[in-house]
């Protein structure tokens, strides 16, 4: 039950992070557009970096949680092998 809640929360936060990427890029692009297209593109990139950082962070959290579960499963199997010897 806890794992399912954690997966749901991480998935939701990843989706919210992609929303922050889109809103940040759009906001900074439109904010800097009066100064020129190149400046607006650079501003849009910098506006998206915070959201992209959050996407990477939550993806790493999901990957680490998967690795932990795999390690627990391997430990369980190894203990079963040692007990059967």
Tens digit of each residue's pLDDT (9 = 90 or more) over 13-34: 999 999 999 999 999 999 999 9
Total domains in the fold of the chain: 1
Q: What is the C-alpha separation between 20 and 28, in angstroms, rounded? A: 12
Q: What pTM was estimated for this model as a whole?
A: 0.78
Number of DSSP helices (H) and strands (E) in the chain, helices first: 2, 0
**For the chain, first and last CA: distance in Å?**
34
Residues 6+ apart with CB under 8 A from 60: none
47-85 confidence digits (pLDDT tens) = 999 999 999 999 999 999 999 999 999 999 999 998 887
Segments forming the whole domain that contains residue 6: 2-84
Cα angle vertex 71, ends 65, 75, to 5°?
A: 145
């Amino acid at each position: 039950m806890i794992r399912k809640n954690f997966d749901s929360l991480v998935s939701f936060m990843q989706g919210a992070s992609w929303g922050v990427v889109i809103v940040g890029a759009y906001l900074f692009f439109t904010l800097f557009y009066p100064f020129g297209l190149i400046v607006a593109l650079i501003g849009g990139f910098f506006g998206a970096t915070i959201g992209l950082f959050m996407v990477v962070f939550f993806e790493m959290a999901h990957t680490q949680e998967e690795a932990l579960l795999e390690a627990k499963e391997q430990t369980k199997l190894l203990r079963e092998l040692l007990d059967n010897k």
